[in-house]
Amino acid sequence: GLIDDGGLLAFDEDFEANLITEEPFEPDQLTSDQDSELYEIFLMECEEHLLVIGKALSGLEQQVVDTSQLSTGTIEHNLAELRRAIHTLKGAAGMTGFTVLADIAHLSEDLLDAIFEAGTVIEPSEVSVLSEAVSIIEVLSADPKKNKDQTILSIQKSISSALEKRGVTPALTLTEAAEITEPETEVRAEAEDESSVVSAESGNIRVSLESLDEIVGLEGELVVARGTMERGLDELIQTVNELNLAKEKLKRISQELETGFEVESLYGFGVSPVGVPVEAEQLATTGYSDFDPIELDRYSQLSLIIRSLNELSVDVNSIHSEMVEVTSELRGHMARQQLMMGVIQDKMMRVRLTPMSSVSRTFFRAVRQAADELGKKVRLNIVGDDVYLDRFVWNKVSDPVMHILRNAVDHGIESEDVRTSSGKPELATIEIEAVQQGNQVVLRISDDGAGVDLNAIRARMDEGTQLSDDQLFEKLFTPGFSTRTEVSQLSGRGVGLDVVRQNLYDLRGSVTLSSVQGGGTTFELRIPVTLSLNRAVIVSAANEQFAVPIHEVLEIRKVTGEQARGIGRGVLETGERVLPCKQLWTLVGLESSQDSVAHVESAIVLIVRVEGVETAVQVDTIIGQREIVVKDLGTHLKKVRGIAGATIMGDGSLLPILDVQELVASEPGLTKKAQPEQLKNLNRDLRVLVVDDSVSVRQSVSRLIRLQGWTPEPATDGVDALEKLDRFSPDIIVLDIEMPRMNGFEFMGVLRSNESHGHIPVIMLTSRVSEKHQQKALQLGVNHYQVKPYKEDEFIQLIRECI
């Protein structure tokens, strides 16, 4: 099935999903007497046809640049598939009132007929025209209100020109069609929710992704509730086991009492039936004297108590047996419930999943456009078109993939003469391979180009000669880094691979790079199949428990002897590798529960990869693995260093989910000696003087300061700020430049010459972006120059760094 950017699904009654690309919209092309059910059916049918069209057109795009495939017969097959799908789409669009869409399909069909009937090879320019037409059809199917767009009308000229080159006169013009057939429209009132449109004939129902997300969220809550039930069941079983011990003890005591009483009775102690001692002559009249104690039982009060105790022991034994049976049945029910929840979870995940084929056409288009612009011949191969990912994940990962593809064409693939001189074919190859590994999908994007020019990277860096190849590769992901000296539409701005990594990071994924000089470059993207549920390793450190997402852990090791003692020196030796080693309790700011790391004889470590470097992280114990539901920490705790979220345990307690990569990457800035003091500074009530003549800016910054639990003090200009310095005594100052009476530069001159307050750090917050203003501010002693507008979390982090 498919699902599109609009976030709508169509799934049938047996729960299999057909994916739909557009959101519900007001059908401008439909007249008031047209059936909305027919309209919904067309949308689903259109999606199916567009999938076929996309695959056939992608095949044609590849075949026209790869001349080795021209004689294979696949072009004729792709032409026939494209022609058949567009013909059917044209008829369906015409029947439901999508006249402009139908007209574009009609013109496209005319061109395909001319190519097919002539029996000649399709030209690259004709493929481009058809690709443009299909792109417009996709736009129209998502939003028919764009039928007057000049881009849409321009397709007539392109197709007409292609037809004229083949000696065919177009039978239809879009301008005429739009003028003649565009009907008056009636806006349909949506009395029901957009997800409630049902097609009775097709057995499909269209559901918004938002509704599905709510269901998946409730499913996550069920996972948590089930964990609570399991914990309760475990406690019940423990109670039953304790009851069994008490039952056995009660049974033993009652048996001992009964045996002891019978022995004592044999010695002839005078005991009345009611337990009162009597004389021997009295026994003669009671009816017991004629019988030996062995011949006739005497029922005293004590014997009755012993009998009751025995009966109670039998009853407790019976209750225990019933409880054992009940707990066994409950355990069976829980196991079946887990199985059913697994099936439901799998079904719900599959509803959201779509194959790579649903987005691969955009990859082909990106490569073709970049190659056309640069005058290069490039072929894109895709392996694993049937690998599935959450649609939301595909949407997020498409941009990084297209950026890597454009980079490959621009940076990696050489010009034709260079490739020829180096013995490579003129037609370059880029390949995307998709493979599912557990709950992750691995995308490998490789090219046969020149590879990464490490010398160019070193030339841009002062310390480049001191870095290894892997470290140089990592520099490519640095914000603002580019080896290009000229800016083009494709590259040179220094905005690229850092965004790729950030996007993957937001998806709880990763990206690594490898390259061979002259042999090409490979990017490996690891992405979770879905973001709703995750598996995690539960670890403890300094008597606290944490969850570490399992996709962040390369391996778990228990080391002993010399390997363990090496951890005290901050390294872990594993065969030929020597890895840096950190302690988790240090990373999260806790005191170690171990006496001395330097003298440990055994240790447990997690091996993780941070910025391309494998690193060991020591923990106290591994508690186990479990499925977790990732919970957002909310606005106020959104940017806690090293914390990706939280999950709810079976007992209702919260467990932090660690972002190990961020923890390890930021750790060098917090040395063991400096950490306690820095944490003390970060946690105390900071006093921030906000100096700006704009009321809006003062209020906005002050609100942000208060959200951190800090104390702001507003000042309208430099004079007002100087008057408040002694009274308020700030820890840091946020300062504007342009203000009445005394501007920011004048204020800095006075501040830095003041013996009492000259040490206070200053962040200059201004809309001035010129180099001249920045240099002036730094010369006057400003600690950091921040341009408006700013990102709140980054601005708060900047304040933390300045103090």
Q: Confirm if 233 and 330 have CB atoms less than 8 A apart.
A: yes
**Residue 261 placed within a domain:** yes
Do residues 69 and 164 both lie within one domain?
yes
Q: Read off the pLDDT of each residue in 630-659 and give the average, rounded to a whole number.
A: 73
CATH (domain of 71): 1.20.120.160
Measure the CA–CA gap between 779 and 793, rounded to whole angstroms: 27
> Domain span at residue 226?
212-353
Residue 607 sits at φ, ψ, to 5 deg, of -95, 120
Do residues 348 and 441 both lie within one domain?
no
Running DSSP on this structure, what letter comes out for residue 472?
H
Of the candidate ranges 263-277, 340-354, 555-569, 738-752, the one whose mean pLDDT is the lowest: 263-277
Q: Confirm if 326 and 243 have CB atoms less than 8 A apart.
A: no
- What pLDDT shows up at residue 751? 92
Give 615's strand partners.
Answer: 608
Is residue 539 pLDDT above 90, yes or no? yes
Domain boundary among 624, 643, 670: 670
The model's pTM is 0.52
Is residue 282 pLDDT above 60, yes or no? no
Q: Read off the pLDDT of each residue in 399-417 and give the average, rounded to a whole number.
A: 89
- What pLDDT shows up at residue 14? 38
Question: How confident is the prediction for the chain on average, in pLDDT?
Answer: 74
Q: The sheet that has 784-787: what strands, in order across it? A: 711-715, 687-691, 732-735, 762-766, 784-787
Do residues 286 and 369 both lie within one domain?
no
Measure the CA–CA gap between 438 and 726, rounded to whole angstroms: 62
- What pLDDT shows up at residue 608? 87
Do residues 33 and 171 both lie within one domain?
yes
**Residue 675 placed within a domain:** no
Q: Which residues contact 715 (CB under 8 A, 6 or more apart)?
A: 689, 690, 691, 692, 721, 724
Do residues 506 and 386 both lie within one domain?
yes
With bands split at pLDDT 50, 70 and 90, how would you rate the model's confidence at 639?
low
- What pLDDT shows up at residue 763? 94
Tokens of 5: 């950017």
Do residues 43 and 156 both lie within one domain?
yes
Peptide bond into 789 cis (omega under 30): yes
With bands split at pLDDT 50, 70 and 90, how would you rate the model's confidence at 180?
very low
Q: Which residues contact 201 (CB under 8 A, 6 or more apart)?
A: 37, 41
**Residue 14 placed within a domain:** no
Do residues 120 and 229 both lie within one domain?
no
Tokens of 698: 């003062």
- Secondary structure string (H, E, C) spanning 590-653: CCCCCCCHHHCCEEEEEEEEECCEEEEEEECEEEEEEEEECECCCCCCCCCCCEEEEEECCCCC
- What pLDDT shows up at residue 715? 92
Q: What angle do CA 576, 581, 584 make, to 5 degrees?
A: 145
**Residue 676 placed within a domain:** no
With bands split at pLDDT 50, 70 and 90, how would you rate the model's confidence at 745?
very high
Q: Which residues contact 546 (CB under 8 A, 6 or more apart)?
A: 538, 539, 540, 584, 588, 655, 656, 657, 658
**Residue 199 placed within a domain:** no
- What pLDDT shows up at residue 736? 92
Of the candidate ranges 180-184, 300-304, 799-803, the one whose mean pLDDT is the lowest: 180-184
Q: The sheet that has 654-658: what strands, in order across it? A: 621-629, 533-541, 544-549, 654-658, 643-648
CATH (domain of 787): 3.40.50.2300
Running DSSP on this structure, what letter comes out for residue 550?
G
C-alpha neighbours within 13 Å on the C-beta side of residue 230: 14
CATH (domain of 633): 2.30.30.40
Q: Read off the pLDDT of each residue in 603-607 and give the average, rounded to a whole number.
A: 90
Q: Read off the pLDDT of each residue in 705-715 and give the average, rounded to a whole number.
A: 85
Is the backbone of residue 339 left (phi > 0), alpha (psi -120 to 50) or beta? alpha
Of the candidate ranges 193-202, 242-251, 515-524, 558-567, the one whose mean pLDDT is the lowest: 193-202
**Residue 17 placed within a domain:** no
Do residues 263 and 343 both lie within one domain?
yes
Domain boundary among 130, 158, 189: 189
Measure the CA–CA gap between 612 and 72, rounded to whole angstroms: 43
Q: Match 């032409």 to its residue by tokens.
A: 79
Q: Read off the pLDDT of each residue in 369-398 and give the average, rounded to a whole number.
A: 85
Is residue 424 pLDDT above 80, yes or no? yes
**Digit-coded pLDDT (tens) for 91-110:** 778 766 778 888 888 888 88
Do residues 524 and 537 both lie within one domain?
no
Which CB contacts under 8 angstroms, 24+ apart, belong to 480-488?
Answer: 483/411, 483/453, 483/456, 483/457, 488/410
Of the candidate ranges 44-53, 61-70, 157-166, 734-743, the one whose mean pLDDT is the lowest: 61-70
**Residue 20 placed within a domain:** no
Query: Which tops the pLDDT comparison, 639 or 412?
Result: 412
With bands split at pLDDT 50, 70 and 90, how would you rate the model's confidence at 348?
confident
- What pLDDT shows up at residue 405? 92
**Digit-coded pLDDT (tens) for 361-370:** 778 878 888 8
Q: Is residue 599 packed enough to be buried (19+ CB in 10 Å), middle (13-18) or exposed (0-12)?
A: exposed
Q: Read off the pLDDT of each residue in 279-292 and give the average, rounded to a whole number.
A: 53
Number of domains in the chain: 5
Q: Match 């345990």 to its residue by tokens.
A: 649
Query: Which tops the pLDDT comparison, 267 or 250?
Result: 250
Do residues 185 and 63 both lie within one domain?
yes
Domain boundary among 332, 353, 374: 353
Of the candidate ranges 180-189, 244-253, 656-665, 736-745, the one whose mean pLDDT is the lowest: 180-189
**Residue 274 placed within a domain:** yes
With bands split at pLDDT 50, 70 and 90, how would you rate the model's confidence at 638?
low
Q: What percent of the chain has pLDDT over 90?
A: 11
Measure the CA–CA gap between 525 and 545, rounded to whole angstroms: 30
Residue 610 sits at φ, ψ, to 5 deg, of -120, 115
Do residues 336 and 265 both lie within one domain?
yes
Do residues 564 and 498 both lie within one domain?
no
**Digit-coded pLDDT (tens) for 439-490:** 778 999 999 998 888 887 777 776 555 677 777 787 787 766 666 555 444 4
Q: Is residue 425 packed enough to be buried (19+ CB in 10 Å), middle (13-18) or exposed (0-12)?
A: middle
- What pLDDT shows up at residue 746? 92
